[in-house]
């Protein structure tokens, strides 16, 4: 177990981590790490090559920080495909949804592992090692870094390249600490830099299955905003195919609002049923990540979606615009009762309102059809910070569904909606021929240990079906089974809860005291990560790191270097409490 941190160690680490030298090191290194694209996009060979370039940087810094480290690049064992926690990455699905074999997915790919203080996994004290884990992959789309003072922007800035930088800096700092104190560690440290956390955790799954690290105390470095966690919610990603099933004069766009609203309502019921220690209502999130070509990922909150509606009516374009704006404003008034009004909340990254406006309406008059462009806006970010964000897909479901219901009550008006997710050279000659007969909706459902994952899947699928059945009743058309098909073949992370008294949590508590930081009340993390994989194998595990979860997965992802420095001090002292 952890030991009290002596004053000399605490003073040295705190001053070093807060120094200008380490601020420059962390900032420069973080920019270099961000600028290597490790998103799951492109071919498998492209992904492998980019991962290798990042590992070159990590290996360079590890060797410079501690020449005695034993560094390995460990391929992923294909046997993990038989593990129930194995997840087929989204980038490895073929056009028809068929996954590639694991041997092709992970050909020429690996995790990087560095062991400090000797290769004897039992250590001089006979205790198992301490594992420091951070993932190197990021969500797509990748974009490069930029710096504004102490704030670094870029894909992966906080999730999770800042945590990688912290561990690389920790190697240097612990080497300096041991030289200062004239002491060596009692237990080995194992630094694990893993791939594919964002797609389900296959990198950590391969390492957690390795008997060399059985029973290790594990500290998973993630974007926690300097808050320690010993539990996290579960999450399952869904894929929903909506189809008109050959029904004439019907757009799949018309079906999606009721499917989304039904899943939202079911998610609310799951939230109300979740009442466990460490977990809060905000741990249960229903997120719709992509609609057609809009949105970034199942686990990211969508910030924009646009539709074009062709209206066949005698009313003039100006009158239609006025009516539409009024209808949408009425709809917004109802929407914000459930989800809050993010136009009235400030974005900490910009100081501006989180959402500048809820929607835009543009009407292009025509002799037979008026073309109406509807843009719905939200605040993007990580699914785990859903309640701090504003999902444009959910908003569009409420507002567009409201409009479609009104339009059906106006006999002279016929509407033909389509998504605007693909560039168009010109509007279609006949909008009736441009409406989609199929639409893909993807997202995720968060849950706590109060619910089994399989039950969550069943309930979400039933909700989507109810939504489409209700749509068919409203349109007085027969329901067909092929109109809504749900699958759950992507990320499927269990919830987990460990004890606040576990060794890594107590080590963090000692580190907080050493730097004069108040210890927060233990709660579960609002999202999920690889910590569950070690917990399920009997390892005591905690989660800690720098950066705001709200910014992760967003279009303006960032981290502040002073916060990274504070995380470095706490992580280093917690590690020393366990190994020193």
Domain boundaries, the chain: 7-232+496-579, 234-492
Which residues, 6 or more positions from 139, have their beta carbon under 8 angstroms from its beta carbon? Answer: 39, 40, 155, 159, 198, 296, 297, 299, 300, 553
State the Cα–Cα distance between residues 122 and 184, nearest whole angstrom: 15
- pLDDT score recorded for residue 226: 98
| pLDDT at 194 (0 to 100) | 98
Categorize the per-residue pLDDT at 120 as very low, low, confident or very high, splitting at 50, 70 and 90: low
Q: Which residues are paired to 405 by β-bridges?
A: none
Determine the pLDDT at residue 427.
64
**Rounded CA separation 276/449 (Å):** 8
pLDDT at 548: 96
| Distance, CA of 237 to CA of 493 (rounded, Å) | 9
Is the pLDDT at 414 greater than 70, yes or no?
Answer: no
Span 162-221, pLDDT tens digits = 999 999 999 999 999 999 999 989 899 999 999 999 999 999 999 999 999 999 999 999
Q: What is the DSSP letter of 435?
A: S
In DSSP notation, 11-26 reads: HHHHHHHTSHHHHHHH
The mean predicted confidence, pLDDT, of the chain is: 92
- If one counts every other C-beta atom within 10 angstroms of the C-beta of residue 73, the result is 14
Helix (H, G, I), strand (E, B) or coil at 214: coil
φ/ψ (deg, to 5) at 431: -60, -25
Q: If phi over 0 gives left and psi between -120 and 50 gives alpha, with beta otherwise, what is residue 294?
A: beta
Select from 290, 446, 455, 450 the least CA-distant residue to 383.
Answer: 446
Which pLDDT score is estimated for 119?
A: 47
Model confidence at 510: pLDDT above 80: yes
- Other CB atoms within 10 Å distance of the CB of residue 249: 11
- The CATH architecture of the domain made up of 7-232+496-579 is 3-Layer(aba) Sandwich (3.40)
CB contact set of 224 (below 8 Å; sequence gap of 6+): 525, 543, 544, 545, 546, 547, 549
pLDDT of residue 407: 61
Whether the per-residue pLDDT at 383 is higher than 60: the answer is yes
In words, the CATH class of domain 234-492 is alpha beta
* pLDDT for res 1: 53
pLDDT of residue 410: 52
Tell me the average pLDDT across 36-63: 97
What gap in Å lies between CA 292 and CA 126, rounded to an integer?
Answer: 55
Quick one: what percent of the chain has pLDDT higher than 70? 94
Question: Residue 97 — pLDDT band, cuts 50, 70, 90?
Answer: confident
User: What confidence tier does 314 reach under pLDDT thresholds 50, 70, 90?
Assistant: low
pLDDT, residue 156, reads 98
DSSP 8-state assignment for residue 204: H
Residue 313 has a pLDDT of: 63
DSSP state of 159: I
State residue 415's pLDDT score: 62
Residue with more model confidence, 119 or 259 = 259
pLDDT classification of 370: cutoffs 50, 70, 90: confident
Give every CB contact of residue 504 below 8 A, 6+ residues apart in sequence: 217, 218, 219, 230, 540, 541, 542, 574, 578
Calculate mean pLDDT across residues 220-241.
97
What percent of the chain is predicted at pLDDT more than 90? 78
Q: How confident is the model at residue 569 (pLDDT cuts 50, 70, 90)?
A: very high
Identical fold at 7-232+496-579 and 234-492? no
């Amino acid at each position: 177990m952890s030991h009290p941190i002596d004053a000399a160690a605490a003073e040295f680490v705190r001053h070093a981590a807060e120094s200008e030298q380490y601020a420059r090191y962390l900032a420069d290194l973080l920019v270099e790490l961000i600028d290597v694209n490790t998103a799951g996009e492109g071919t498998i060979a492209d992904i492998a090559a980019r991962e290798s370039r990042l590992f070159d940087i990590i290996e360079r810094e590890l060797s410079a920080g501690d020449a005695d480290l034993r560094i390995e690049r460990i391929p992923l064992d294909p046997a993990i495909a038989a593990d129930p926690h194995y997840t087929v990455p989204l980038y490895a699905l073929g056009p028809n949804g068929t996954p590639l074999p694991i041997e092709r997915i992970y050909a020429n790919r690996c995790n990087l592992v560095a062991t400090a203080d000797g290769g004897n996994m039992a250590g001089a004290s006979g205790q198992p090692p301490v594992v420091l884990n951070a993932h190197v992959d990021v969500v797509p789309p990748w974009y490069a870094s930029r710096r504004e003072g102490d704030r670094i922007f870029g894909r992966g800035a906080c999730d999770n390249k800042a945590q990688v930088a912290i561990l690389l800096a920790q190697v240097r700092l612990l080497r300096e600490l041991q030289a200062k104190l004239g002491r060596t560690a009692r237990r080995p440290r194992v630094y694990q830099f893993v791939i594919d956390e964002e797609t389900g955790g296959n990198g950590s799954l391969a390492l957690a299955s390795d008997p060399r690290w059985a029973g290790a105390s594990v500290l998973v470095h993630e974007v926690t905003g300097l808050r320690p966690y010993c539990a996290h919610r579960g999450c399952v990603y869904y894929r929903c195919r909506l189809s008109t099933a050959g029904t004439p004069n019907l757009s799949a766009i018309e079906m999606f609002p009721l499917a989304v609203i039904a899943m939202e309502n079911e998610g609310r019921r799951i939230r109300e049923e979740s009442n466990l220690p460490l977990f809060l209502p905000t741990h249960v999130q229903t997120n719709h990540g992509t609609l057609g070509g809009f949105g970034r990922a199942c686990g990211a909150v969508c910030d924009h979606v646009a539709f074009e509606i062709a209206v066949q009516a005698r009313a003039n374009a100006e009158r239609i615009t006025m009516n539409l704006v009024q209808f949408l404003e009425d709809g917004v008034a109802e929407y914000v009762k459930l989800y809050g009004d993010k136009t009235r909340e400030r974005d900490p990254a910009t100081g501006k309102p989180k959402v500048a406006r809820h929607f835009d309406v543009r009407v292009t008059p025509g002799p037979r059809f008026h073309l109406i462009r509807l843009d719905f806006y939200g605040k993007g970010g990580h699914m785990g910070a859903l309640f701090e964000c504003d999902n444009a897909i959910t908003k569009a479901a409420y507002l567009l569904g409201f409009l479609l219901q009104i339009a059906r009550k106006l006999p002279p008006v016929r509407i033909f909606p389509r998504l605007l997710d693909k560039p168009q050279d010109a509007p279609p000659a006949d909008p009736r021929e441009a409406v989609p007969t199929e639409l893909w909706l993807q997202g995720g459902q968060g849950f706590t240990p109060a619910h089994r994952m399989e039950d969550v899947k069943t309930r979400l699928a039933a909700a989507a079906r109810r939504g489409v059945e209700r749509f068919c009743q409203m349109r007085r058309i027969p329901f067909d089974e092929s109109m809504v098909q749900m699958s759950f073949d992507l990320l499927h992370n269990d919830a987990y809860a460990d004890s606040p008294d576990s060794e890594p949590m107590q080590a963090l508590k000692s580190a907080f005291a050493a730097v004069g930081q108040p210890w927060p009340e233990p709660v579960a993390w609002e999202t999920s990560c690889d910590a569950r994989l070690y917990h399920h194998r009997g390892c005591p595990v905690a989660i800690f790191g720098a950066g705001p979860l709200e910014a992760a997965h967003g279009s303006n992802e960032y981290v502040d270097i002073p916060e990274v420095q504070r995380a470095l001090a706490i992580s280093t002292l917690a590690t020393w409490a366990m190994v020193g």
